[in-house]
Structure 1
């Protein structure tokens, strides 16, 4: 997508919002304070605090760090209402965090690059760390965070430091640590949707060397969706967090911090609505129209009865109101008795040791975490019972057990001319995925209606179990005297009747286990060539081993029966399409009793060298110029989905090749130039970047199954072979295979503090994150999957070209009482983008602006505050992701996961 009229409108909105402000604060001096310090020179008028970050493995003032990093202070996080990583969208223009069919599926993107989280076999392009400890997937951090010290968002590949490798960026969250002064606090919030949030904690020194801290958060809220059929609310909140810490500082040179936490969620999530023309005015499709071509004007709307699948859904019991409700009415029509209830537990313990050895500083971070989630779902997202997961330990369940150990040793050589750092990282992760995805009670009839529509729409009768009923006479020859399919007609009819019996069939418990071991050795060194010129050199070696096994349980015996009946017809040209359709629907997703009790195993091993080189220059004490190259890496793995084992039409469980589940590691070469300038009252940074991704890991839902494929480019012209419906055209010579995704653009951030009590920030990101024009599936030059034939030359999904964040903070004193006022407002302005990873038309999201605000009075009696707040002030309707409604044909209906509507409330705080 090139700069469009909408992009220009977004620029205009940014200009209009300049007076508002990203909360990515820029440091204002080049001092070298301790990690996490925020230095406020209270005796100097109009001084901006220095924010200290550890982006390069040692404490540095943000303005002196020659990398693209945004640092968000605790005050800004509190003012912006940040309680989990989704709210970071409002404070960092290059970041986008969203969630889809499950809270565990959360996905973070930086500069338009991210990983769809529906398949836990794929690791996150954006790694998340809490107190230096790796969270296995981005969705694991979609929970209450409690009191925070700061957040650092590193943009671009992290291939040297940061523990786990990350190809797009890193989010480091630092919780508020214990202190050697007694203190306690409490906060109570009440908001619309009956939201109640209670937070409290206490900090106490036990001696001169030991301090402890305990924090707790409880949050409940009604859901944003109204399930009309079952009379319940969906997407509610019911969660809590407890965290306890101890800090031991026996000497000035030794400190040890121990952190333990436990959080739990017991919530119904995540529903979706039918996409109507109020969201997707272009998504109108006529019968027979190729869904990959832009629809013709005047074609019927997605949910119009003129689309033949809609009368079938109505005949099977869909409430007509579901087709007349707007996309954002938030009334949903779920199958009676189906549930989105689920449960998430997340807990762990970590210890951080810092020891000044004299000649060097030693840092050790040890962490162990366990995470588990299960979520029921009406997986077809509408009232007709086609697909579901029961809400139990097998219902879309995943669990992680993760142990990590990081060691760093850093110091200086040659009279501080070289700041050296060496280290190692080890991670052991045990992943278990369990699934009980089953066809619903209406599936057999519905699937046969799809067959009837393909033969002759007049034959479809949803009132009949096999959707033909008496109309079968038009096939068996009763009416014409000639069977419609010759001698094969009895086989076809028997196949139809078998398909009709696929009701409440499918998985009885599929189990996937993956053990991953990762170890790395790294070094990161800053060479002070002169007093103003630095050369930074970093390198990392990573070894990754993954052992995989899976065992399947399934009771869909009708798949095997139809394979025996219809397999021979696949070789008959005139019958192959119909026989293939019956087999595909009967065995969809490789659901077959032939897999029952079958086990498979596989392993993969990777070695990768990554690193960075940065040349930086400080022409003045207030300015920094730098240029860098870095190479990043994200591990390959296994597609934890049985549907990827083969095409359901020809799938034979006796000949399973588990290697087809593998996908390759993703690598990126990144180039960056930047300029930072910082003064007491004003500072800014400007960054230009280009990132070239090879073996980009794409996970997309094609309406039936999740498709995982590596994406690469071809230097030769494929003649449109990557844009057609054939799976065999578009092959590339392996010598011509190169990067398939390019992200390039400019990032600008600025802060302005004209007086002590007034602060402005502004951030703008322009990122052209696009697929190359000629695409292939793997680095061996294999053709691109036909379901992805809209990708070549277009922007990635959820990758708007222009995003801006702005904020204003005003805290004026209120007379001589010591009280202060609080006025805070921030905004995020987003250009238009496509929300679907297959880029189908009808999934486009227009440009929008989200404004949040907070007003109040603080320091009442030196202890209390009262604040009113609002999120999404103008109640803007927008979607997180639109997707093909399962089984209802991608060319006919879409569904969408909606973003949150306006919320507001009041918060009372007290400190003691």
Structure 2
């Protein structure tokens, strides 16, 4: 017990990190070789704790025999279907974190980006709906990866979402959310190398389950949600859910007085559940989501290097000089001001939706057949600014049209056998088309090319028209066809020892092509000098890759041994292997010079090793889950960039070898009746073990002309070394049908590099966010009224969530939401 208390005590002392690592490692080792606890398992429908448990009062059959029975409380296990059958989360020998509907509601976790405030080892990068990604244990941070699948799979109602942007919607009518860490693929769906985020919505009910909710708050925040579920006939039930969310932005554009990074989302989900007989059910789901807001505005984080140049003189700064020569005014360089001065619009439009049919048939033998057929689409249309006031760029971006089909067929054995198993087939087909466009204004040459000596002279003479008033378009397409056979089995070797094995083989056939037309508009190319034509062609010249192809087999595997040390302690050790296929760049980048094969990205492979404990203590009022992991990744797929002319182009690349290792802790404690404390945290050391030709940051490349560097042994970008999340909820005693409650949370994230080149000026500083709520529930017959006051980012921290390398050596930053104070009224009936 002392070793476990040591884990909790030392986890909070982040300033003594090296000592903490040693203490935790020692404590975990001691826990493995000897620990005892007491457990009394109680099942509860209401699961509110983030560590995979819920709080319930213990029932007593003889209150006279225990005068203190009313004071007994316990943690009740959460039921999960991670291994394709219902079982208690504490019995599953894998790191899994769970958020219930109650937790999501209490902590106001309403969208994908919020989840990293409640889950260990999770990083969500969000610049806009297209440039978003989900990473686990530092792996998978690949925004804007049109030509690749994600390292972390996101599932909605058992359907794999082929693009991370498909998950960028309000979390509507959710029953439960599960985060699995490590390579996946032997149980269902798509193969991934880093983890899996499984989102399950509430199913239709045959009894009335209705609710109406409205929230309002700072910056004209308004959210309306509703759910209606009931029987439609004796064996058919339906459920309809909808939401609408709006809020003003918080980035001030001093050029036109508009505010950017506002919110305007809406969506609807309809379901039908048909149960013609006890052993068969069919669930039909259709949903539609729309987003139409001024997202994606970024502030100046680093204005590029200032240095003494033999060509341009002392105290030279490329960005400031080029921007000034283009006529830009009010060049804000203090990101804390939350201001831009831009003449171009900034807007994002998303439409997405789909449908699925899940059929479950239980055979007389106890086996179950499951079929899941699904179709989804995702359309993204941006309008992007250059965030300056001169007419250098009037519009730019990458629009995407994506559609996917999937079919899964599973056979699950009857439970409680000597060997439990599941096997299945999976097919996935996706087609993605994108259009990359850049519409230049009449000062483009000055902003993008003024540092080129020959262009500087032309501009001085009023003769430069290389990029001015030209429009450039490129068109990319990629198609994926993936087929897989998978299976997993658990052999109950003894009453205490289980051996789990799993395997998957996937065959994928991929094709792609990308081409760029000659630029439209501007001065006729024939009127340009040879030097000017070379500059134009390097950045905007016509190009056709022809058809590109990749195909081959990839393999996934799992071997886990788990041992029930005592009724309250499960120990496990796992080796797993995951692979995901290669892909293609749908950005041309340097391909005209490097060749079409440079557009290909190799497959990524991961080997994962971990040991863990799942424990209950203090008469099942304290639950502690801990694990140590080590992952070796080869040909790590990441978002890099290339310098094409004076522009920075985002590209996909293999970043050599990566090692991710660390410790994860997940704890829930119920010290007194109605008070629940949750803590989770992670220490994550994710490092490039080999990355010799990484891009050099602008503070090196612009002054010296050196464009590459060796990042071997350095940290992987976008990965905080330490993450800690704490939350609590206290429900006061009910009085006159009113039950007050109070909750709070604190989420802390260590610093991390914001860009692939580990630019010291892109560092995202450590920050902590505090949220709180105070409310009361009132029973009105069989109905319930819930009224709450809440605040997010209580201390109004100004913090950076992501950074982005841009033209002329600058680094832009995406800021997190400022303080929002609001109120929610919900009626359940």
Name the TM-score, length of structure 1 as normaliser.
Answer: 0.79
Give the drift of 1:881: 2.0
Q: Which residue of 2 aligns with 1:484?
A: none
Q: Which residue of 2 aligns with 1:731?
A: none
1:907 matched to 2:814? The reply is no
SS in 2 for 1:87: helix
> 1:100-145, CA deviations, whole angstroms, 9 ceiling, x for partnerless residues?
1x32221111111113222311221111000001111212111122
Evaluate the alpha carbon distance shift between residue 94 and residue 28 of structure 1 in structure 2; reply closer, same or farther with a 3 A threshold.
farther
> 1:225-248, CA deviations, whole angstroms, 9 ceiling, x for partnerless residues?
122213322111111111111111
Q: Is the 8 A contact 1:701 1:883 kept in 2?
A: no
Q: Which residue of 1 aligns with 2:149?
A: 123
Q: Which residue of 1 aligns with 2:805?
A: 884
Q: Which residue of 2 aligns with 1:746?
A: 663
SS in 1 for 2:452: helix
Q: Which residue of 2 aligns with 1:721?
A: none
5+ unaligned residues in a row in structure 2: which ranges? 1-9, 22-37, 60-71, 696-704
Distance (whole Å) between structure 2 residues aligned to residue 266 and residue 558 of structure 1: 32
Q: Which residue of 2 aligns with 1:361?
A: 368
> 1:491-545, CA deviations, whole angstroms, 9 ceiling, x for partnerless residues?
xxxxxx5x533212142x4222211110100110000110000000000000111
Q: Which residue of 2 aligns with 1:868?
A: 789
Q: Is the 8 A contact 1:376 1:388 kept in 2?
A: no
> 1:683-721, CA deviations, whole angstroms, 9 ceiling, x for partnerless residues?
111110000011101212355112322122xxxxxxxxx
SS in 2 for 1:56: coil
SS in 2 for 1:587: helix
1:810 matched to 2:724? The reply is no
Evaluate the alpha carbon distance shift between residue 285 and residue 162 of structure 1 in structure 2; reply closer, same or farther with a 3 A threshold.
farther
The Cα RMSD (Å) is 3.2
Q: Is the 8 A contact 1:95 1:111 kept in 2?
A: yes
> 1:34-71, CA deviations, whole angstroms, 9 ceiling, x for partnerless residues?
99999876552412232112222222211011111111
Q: Is the 8 A contact 2:154 2:196 kept in 1?
A: yes
Q: Which residue of 2 aligns with 1:586?
A: 536
| Residue of 825, 845, 858 corresponding to 2:744 | 825
SS in 2 for 1:501: coil
Q: Is the 8 A contact 2:126 2:132 kept in 1?
A: yes
1:89 matched to 2:104? The reply is no
| Residue of 378, 400, 405 corresponding to 1:371 | 378
Q: Is the 8 A contact 1:257 1:351 kept in 2?
A: yes
Evaluate the alpha carbon distance shift between residue 93 and residue 39 of structure 1 in structure 2; reply closer, same or farther with a 3 A threshold.
closer
Give the drift of 1:328: 2.2
1:768 matched to 2:714? The reply is no
SS in 2 for 1:8: helix
Give the drift of 1:673: 0.5
Give the drift of 1:879: 1.2
1:175 matched to 2:201? The reply is yes
Distance (whole Å) between structure 1 residues aligned to residue 347 and residue 318 of structure 2: 33
1:711 matched to 2:655? The reply is yes
Distance (whole Å) between structure 1 residues aligned to residue 597 and residue 524 of structure 2: 24
1:616 matched to 2:545? The reply is no
1:468 matched to 2:464? The reply is no
Distance (whole Å) between structure 2 residues aligned to residue 285 and residue 685 of structure 1: 50
Q: Which residue of 1 aligns with 2:336?
A: 328
> 1:364-421, CA deviations, whole angstroms, 9 ceiling, x for partnerless residues?
221111111101101x33223334536xxxx5211211111111111159x7110011
SS in 2 for 1:772: strand
Q: Which residue of 2 aligns with 1:664?
A: 602
1:512 matched to 2:476? The reply is yes
SS in 1 for 2:328: coil
Q: Is the 8 A contact 2:43 2:77 kept in 1?
A: no
| Residue of 529, 534, 541 corresponding to 2:505 | 541
Give the drift of 1:169: 0.8
Evaluate the alpha carbon distance shift between residue 468 and residue 406 of structure 1 in structure 2; reply closer, same or farther with a 3 A threshold.
same
SS in 1 for 2:337: coil
Q: Is the 8 A contact 2:148 2:582 kept in 1?
A: yes
Evaluate the alpha carbon distance shift between residue 515 and residue 312 of structure 1 in structure 2; reply closer, same or farther with a 3 A threshold.
closer
> 1:326-367, CA deviations, whole angstroms, 9 ceiling, x for partnerless residues?
202221111x2x222231111111121121112211122211
1:552 matched to 2:516? The reply is yes
Q: Which residue of 1 aligns with 2:631?
A: 691
Q: Is the 8 A contact 1:245 1:260 kept in 2?
A: yes
Give the drift of 1:268: 1.4
Q: Is the 8 A contact 1:644 1:707 kept in 2?
A: no
Distance (whole Å) between structure 1 residues aligned to residue 44 and residue 218 of structure 2: 43
Q: Which residue of 2 aligns with 1:491?
A: none
Q: Which residue of 1 aligns with 2:229?
A: 203
Q: Is the 8 A contact 2:305 2:317 kept in 1?
A: no
Evaluate the alpha carbon distance shift between residue 806 and residue 448 of structure 1 in structure 2; reply closer, same or farther with a 3 A threshold.
closer
| Residue of 309, 320, 325 corresponding to 1:310 | 320
1:352 matched to 2:358? The reply is yes
1:227 matched to 2:233? The reply is no
Evaluate the alpha carbon distance shift between residue 81 and residue 565 of structure 1 in structure 2; reply closer, same or farther with a 3 A threshold.
same
Name the TM-score, length of structure 2 as normaliser.
Answer: 0.87
Q: Is the 8 A contact 2:441 2:470 kept in 1?
A: yes
Distance (whole Å) between structure 1 residues aligned to residue 603 and residue 350 of structure 2: 29
Aligned pairs for 1:589-608 within 5 A: 589=539, 591-592=540-541, 594-595=542-543, 598=544, 600-608=546-554
Distance (whole Å) between structure 2 residues aligned to residue 870 and residue 35 of structure 1: 24
Distance (whole Å) between structure 1 residues aligned to residue 200 and residue 523 of structure 2: 52
| Residue of 80, 99, 119 corresponding to 1:53 | 80
Give the drift of 1:744: 0.2
Choose 439-448 or 158-167, whichever is displaced more.
439-448
Give the drift of 1:630: 0.4
> 1:168-188, CA deviations, whole angstroms, 9 ceiling, x for partnerless residues?
111000011111211321111
Distance (whole Å) between structure 2 residues aligned to residue 46 and residue 120 of structure 1: 50
Distance (whole Å) between structure 2 residues aligned to residue 139 and residue 64 of structure 1: 33
Q: Is the 8 A contact 1:30 1:621 kept in 2?
A: no
Evaluate the alpha carbon distance shift between residue 872 and residue 562 of structure 1 in structure 2; reply closer, same or farther with a 3 A threshold.
farther
Q: Which residue of 1 aligns with 2:467?
A: 502
Distance (whole Å) between structure 2 residues aligned to residue 857 and residue 554 of structure 1: 64
Q: Which residue of 2 aligns with 1:627?
A: 573
Evaluate the alpha carbon distance shift between residue 560 and residue 537 of structure 1 in structure 2; reply closer, same or farther with a 3 A threshold.
farther
Aligned length: 769
1:521 matched to 2:496? The reply is no
Q: Is the 8 A contact 1:32 1:60 kept in 2?
A: no
Q: Which residue of 2 aligns with 1:17?
A: none
Distance (whole Å) between structure 1 residues aligned to residue 674 and residue 563 of structure 2: 33
Aligned pairs for 1:147-166 within 5 A: 147-166=173-192
Give the drift of 1:98: 2.1
Q: Which residue of 1 aligns with 2:62?
A: none
Hey, which bits of structure 1, 4+ residues long, moved more than 4 A? 9-14, 27-43, 556-566, 582-585, 785-788
Give the drift of 1:555: 1.8
| Residue of 755, 758, 774 corresponding to 1:839 | 758
Choose 262-271 or 41-50, whichever is displaced more.
41-50
1:342 matched to 2:334? The reply is no
SS in 1 for 2:259: strand
| Residue of 56, 67, 73 corresponding to 2:94 | 67
5+ unaligned residues in a row in structure 1: which ranges? 15-26, 278-282, 291-298, 471-496, 567-578, 652-656, 713-739, 779-784
Distance (whole Å) between structure 2 residues aligned to residue 87 and residue 73 of structure 1: 14
Give the drift of 1:860: 4.8
Q: Which residue of 2 aligns with 1:489?
A: none
Q: Is the 8 A contact 2:732 2:739 kept in 1?
A: yes
Choose 629-638 or 227-236, whichever is displaced more.
227-236
Q: Is the 8 A contact 1:764 1:805 kept in 2?
A: yes
Distance (whole Å) between structure 2 residues aligned to residue 33 and residue 583 of structure 1: 71
Q: Which residue of 1 aligns with 2:404?
A: 402
